[in-house]
A and B are shown apart, each in its own frame.
Chain A
Amino acid sequence: MNIGIGGAGSKLASIASSGESVAVNVSELELSKVEAKTKILAVTHSARGQLRGSGKNSNIGRDAYISIHEELKNLIKGNIIFTSTGGGTGNGITSCLLEGLSKNEEPVILEEKSLFAFVLPYLNRESSEYVDNTIEFLGGPVSSAIDSGNTGNMVLFSNKLKFEGRIAEVNYNQMMVDSFNSFLSIPVKGEMYKLLDGHIDFEDFDLYKSKPYFNHFTQFEWDPGQPFEQQLSSNFNSLLLAPERAIEVMFLVELPSPELTPKFYDIIDYFAQDGLAPVYGVVHNPDLQKPLVTVSLLYSRKPMELVDDFKNISDIYTRNRIKKSFEQHVVLQNHKLDKLNEARRMVEEKGTSAGDVLGFLKRIGKL
């Protein structure tokens, strides 16, 4: 089951489940905009929150979490949670959820671990509040949840491509969901198609996605005649943050003809260079024209390093904005208009010549 927290998260979860998702929000109005099987209204005492959502204030989300925490804690078990890290509701409620998981005295069992999909703002285009909320989120709740080992994979979607590619939100959401589904369909394909080598069943897959690491997945047409390393690095998923050095790998190769099967050893060899033993499957998919490979890399990048990245870019951005505002700062001269002097100047400008004076002196008969 997919659970969407906040506006952005609810939309993604709804698309991913074709409207069969759970939507959580502090605003009834926001909830009414989303198609979902179950809608949970988190109660906030802020009138602004009730009417318009949390905006960029994560404290509203945190306050509202109290009203739903029992329900939500049970609901997330073994499910996928979508949320954005920049907004108020998603950030606030998910922060509380992650903090709760970090404080669990008993370790969370494998079947109950949740997979989190976060949508991160694009630093160069989105407001500084979104970026600051994200920095706080990654450095605090995400960091401690990973350390506790009580979460499953974390997927870090980025809005970068959305802004650079000028993609409409609804289309971008669909792209993220499609990409995510390519990863989630690995065990389904393992069952659906004829197995040629290796095997990834649902248990393997559940074990893999229950590991508390960041997950970068990608899918591309594979040319068995070319080095795999090159193909992988040029086909990283542009919807996700770029991965670091992998510590665990899973891949599924779909081949149009079984004769190509031995070629998959090239992929195994490539990962073996880094001492990695991938979980893999090779299946025969007769619908394809060319081989297709779906790769997932688990990498353990400390969230603090991620935070540093965000901070550095945020700092540069802030510095540029400050610099720009200095450049635009115009010192206005204190212009005092002295009406009297101005009037005198105008009078002087309209001066009369000596000839005129002598003329009228004569006219009045004085000369």
Chain B
Amino acid sequence: MQELFEKQINSLKEAHFHILYWTAMAEEMDQKYNITNIFDDLKFIGATRTKQSAVALVDSLSVLCFININGESNRKNIYITKYGAKVLEFLMVERDYKIKKSMFLEGIE
């Protein structure tokens, strides 16, 4: 299983990392964070230009059980799972990704 987990992580891209980070951050800040917010933030950092890509990225993380998508009223809010937290920890330590702030969560001073 460990091998499978490593393979899953290795196939993740930088955009996945950002989504996991922002999702965790939202939870830390006690904020609701949904697909639309993810799309806006990905667009802002230049990772994607289309909502479909943003949805595909979120779906893949969801399928791998790294995030949960909860339909709350008419929003689909995202929460990081314990597996997702381990993945984020791994990516933070092993990959040289630079954290980018979320416009939605933190804005720009």
B88 at the interface (CB under 8 A from A): yes
The reply to whether A364 and B24 contact each other, CB–CB distance below 8 Å, is yes
The reply to whether B28 and A360 contact each other, CB–CB distance below 8 Å, is yes
- Residues of A contacting B108 with CB < 8 Å? 343, 346-347
One of B45, B80, B93 near A366 (C-beta < 8 A): B80
The reply to whether A351 and B24 contact each other, CB–CB distance below 8 Å, is no
The reply to whether B84 and A366 contact each other, CB–CB distance below 8 Å, is yes
- Residues of B contacting A344 with CB < 8 Å? 44-46, 100
B92 at the interface (CB under 8 A from A): yes
14 A-B pairs, CB-CB below 8 angstroms? A343-B103, A344-B44, A344-B45, A348-B100, A357-B89, A357-B99, A361-B24, A361-B88, A363-B28, A364-B24, A364-B80, A364-B85, A366-B27, A367-B85
A352 at the interface (CB under 8 A from B): yes
Interface string of B58-97 (1 = CB under 8 A from A): 0000000000000000000000111011101100110000
The reply to whether B92 and A354 contact each other, CB–CB distance below 8 Å, is yes
- Residues of B contacting A337 with CB < 8 Å? none
Task: Give the nearest-CB partner of B85 in chain A.
Answer: A366
Interface residue tally on A, bucketed by range: 10 to 19
The reply to whether A357 and B100 contact each other, CB–CB distance below 8 Å, is no
Cα A271 to Cα B46 with chains together (Å) = 94
One of A340, A350, A357 near B24 (C-beta < 8 A): A357
Cα A340 to Cα B21 with chains together (Å) = 21
- Residues of B contacting A363 with CB < 8 Å? 28
Q: In angstroms, how far is the closest chain B Cβ from the Cβ of A331? A: 31
Task: Give the nearest-CB partner of B83 in chain A.
Answer: A366
Interface residue tally on B, bucketed by range: 20 to 34
A358 at the interface (CB under 8 A from B): yes
Q: Are A354 and B80 also in contact (CB < 8 A) when A347-B108, A363-B28, A366-B24 are?
A: no
The reply to whether A364 and B101 contact each other, CB–CB distance below 8 Å, is no
Q: In angstroms, how far is the closest chain B Cβ from the Cβ of A349? A: 10
Q: In angstroms, how far is the closest chain A Cβ from the Cβ of B76? A: 20
One of B28, B44, B46, B93 near A364 (C-beta < 8 A): B28
B109 at the interface (CB under 8 A from A): yes
The reply to whether B82 and A357 contact each other, CB–CB distance below 8 Å, is no
Interface string of A325-356 (1 = CB under 8 A from B): 00000000000000010011011101110100
One of A346, A348, A350, A358 near B89 (C-beta < 8 A): A358
Q: In angstroms, how far is the closest chain A Cβ from the Cβ of B86? A: 7
B7 at the interface (CB under 8 A from A): no
The reply to whether B99 and A352 contact each other, CB–CB distance below 8 Å, is yes
Q: Are A357 and B44 also in contact (CB < 8 A) when A348-B98, A350-B101 are?
A: no
Cα A348 to Cα B44 with chains together (Å) = 12
The reply to whether B88 and A357 contact each other, CB–CB distance below 8 Å, is yes
Cα A343 to Cα B41 with chains together (Å) = 12
Task: Give the nearest-CB partner of A343 in chain B.
Answer: B108
Cα A351 to Cα B92 with chains together (Å) = 13
B25 at the interface (CB under 8 A from A): yes
The reply to whether A351 and B28 contact each other, CB–CB distance below 8 Å, is no
Q: Are A357 and B109 also in contact (CB < 8 A) when A340-B44, A352-B99, A366-B84 are?
A: no
The reply to whether B81 and A366 contact each other, CB–CB distance below 8 Å, is yes
The reply to whether A364 and B98 contact each other, CB–CB distance below 8 Å, is no
Interface hub of B46, B82, B85, B100 (most chain A Cβ within 10 A): B85
Task: Give the nearest-CB partner of A341 in chain B.
Answer: B46
- Residues of B contacting A360 with CB < 8 Å? 24-25, 28
- Residues of A contacting B85 with CB < 8 Å? 361, 364, 366-367
Cα A361 to Cα B26 with chains together (Å) = 11
- Residues of B contacting A366 with CB < 8 Å? 24, 27, 80-82, 84-85
